Amino acid sequence: MIIYGVAFLALCTLTGLFIGELLGKWMGIPANVGGVGIAMLLLIGLGSYLGNRGLFTGKSEQGVSFWAAIYIPIVVAMAAQQNVYGAISGGPMAILAGTLAVVLGFALVPVLVRIGNREPNATVPTKEAG
Amino acid sequence: MYESMMKVITGYGLISGFAVIGLTMWVSYWLSDTFTKGRLHGSAIAILLGLVLSYVGGAFTGGSKGVVDIPLLSGIGLLGGAMLRDFAIVATAFGVSVDELKRAGFVGVLALFFGVGSSFVAGVAVAIGFGYTDAVSLTTIGAGAVTYIVGPVTGAAIGASSEVMALSIAAGLIKAILVMVLTPFVAPFIGLNNPRSAVIFGGLMGTSSGVAGGLAATDPKLVPYGCLTAAFYTALGCLLGPSLLFLIVRGLAG
């Protein structure tokens, strides 16, 4: 049933965000610490576990893949509600600060890709990404 | 008749959102095929259109939520709000290669620290250039260049003026918008075409809406890898901003 997939996705999302909230509280910072990332790892881990046992297939998968497919329209809706006007009215300093941060970020991508390649393909556990 | 139409459109906001965004996607893909022969992704055009419309919305209504402040389009707020955005981002993780993630795990964490550090330095440097000298303002503007959430969180913690906080939010918004717009154009030059570089990209840029939009416009397959690391970025910024980074700036600026 498709709803099983949607419910599974919902449970992973809620659990991840809940753990993120708890981590934030525990570290004393007013932010969700990686909730979405933890939820993704849960979905990957539990999904493949259930899939291997034949408990998560076909119709149930569609419940997840629909939301993955609707992702881009959601991002477009997200773009349409950014405070673009406010950002540009922030003046030249805000624009310059944001721009420089982005330029540095782009420039560092190839640098870090190279650093990573020199490292041996380590056996870092998945949770390291968090 | 007008009244009845408005009643349906605003009463069924989310549904209207689907219709409006669907139409926007159709126009964007048509533009992409007709004028760029598909070279510029339809999704990239759609995101650009969304940002332009949001500018127009903000200019007309004076609100801070782009087109959502126009009553007719308020449903877009539900569709593109944090709830459905996070739900859909998690869904994209379905089918992610665990091996790719493991391979990028260590550099991903490294990228997070580099990303927060470099953005912060960029913000502080620009603030110095514009004549700020006190540690509190410098740190807050630097934190704003990290993300538009880290800026006000840091500013509130160290007691920045509301004017400086507004500037830091603006800097973070500019960053998010630029990442959305520029990523598809820059991607070929920085090797952003595989899961590993996407993990690194997510960690370096961090701004979740920027990474989500930028990767969607570049290659939807890369979205989950970038968003996974980006999910930890704002938290890391909130952790370091009012503590370590503030102490460093205070030490240097006196």
The reply to whether A15 and A51 lie within a common domain is: yes
CB B27 within 8 A of CB A83: no
What Rg value do the Cα atoms of chain A yield, rounded? 19
Same domain? For A77 and A97 the reply is: no
Residue type, A67: W
Is the predicted pLDDT of residue A126 greater than 60, yes or no? no
Q: Where are the domains of chain B?
A: 2-80, 98-253
Is the ipTM, as predicted for this complex, more than 0.90? Answer: no
Contact B190 A110 (CB under 8 A): yes
Question: Residue B158, Cα to own-chain centre: how many angstroms?
Answer: 24
Q: Which residue has the tokens 């953005």?
A: B119
Confidence label for A119 from pLDDT (cuts 50, 70 and 90): low
Residue A129 has pLDDT above 50, yes or no: no
d(CA B136, CA B123): 13
Is A79 within 8 Å of B80 (Cβ atoms)?
A: yes
Total length of chain A = 130
A74 vs B53, B79, B153: nearest CB:
B79
Cα distance from N-terminal residue to C-terminal residue, chain A: 32
The answer to whether B54 contacts chain A (CB < 8 Å) is: yes
Same domain, A51 and A105: no
* Mean pLDDT, residues A19-30: 84
Among B106, B114, B174, select the one facing A87 at the smallest CB separation.
B174
Distances (CA, A) of B177 to A19, B19, B210, B224: 29, 24, 6, 19
Interval A73-95 mean pLDDT: 84
Q: In terms of domains, do A47 and A16 share one? A: yes
Q: Say yes or no to pLDDT of A122 above 50.
A: no
Whole-model pTM over 0.95: no
3-state SS, B115-151, equals HHHHHHHHHHHHHHHCCCCCHHHHHHHHHHHHCCCHH
A53-80 pLDDT, tens digit each: 888 878 888 889 899 888 888 888 888 8
Nearest of B11, B253, B12, B6 to residue B133 by alpha carbon: B253
Q: Domain residues for A101?
A: 83-130
Does B243 touch chain A if contact means CB atoms closer than 8 Å? Answer: no
Q: What is the spatial distance between Cα A128 and Cα A53, in angstroms, rounded to a whole number?
A: 26
Q: Are residues A8 and A32 in the same domain?
A: yes
pLDDT for B36-84, tens place per residue? 877 777 888 888 888 888 888 888 888 888 888 888 888 888 888 889 9
Q: From CA A91, how far away is CA B10, in angstroms rounded?
A: 34
Query: Does residue A50 sit at the B interface (CB-CB below 8 Å)?
Result: no
Please indicate if any CB of chain B lies within 8 Å of the CB of A26.
no
Q: In chain B, count H helices and then E strands.
A: 14, 0
Give the count of domains, chain A: 2
Is B2 an interface residue toward A (CB < 8 Å)? no
Q: Which of A39, A20, A40 is nearest to A29 (CA)?
A: A20
What letter represents residue B13's amino acid? G
78-97 of A, contacting B, C-beta below 8 A: 78-91, 93-97
Residue A33's SS3 state is coil
Are the beta carbons of A30 and B153 separated by less than 8 Å? Answer: yes
Residue A22 and residue A73 in one domain: yes
User: What's the token pair of residue B91?
Assistant: 């869904």
Query: Does A114 share its domain with A75?
Result: no
Indicate whether A58 and A104 sit together in one domain. no
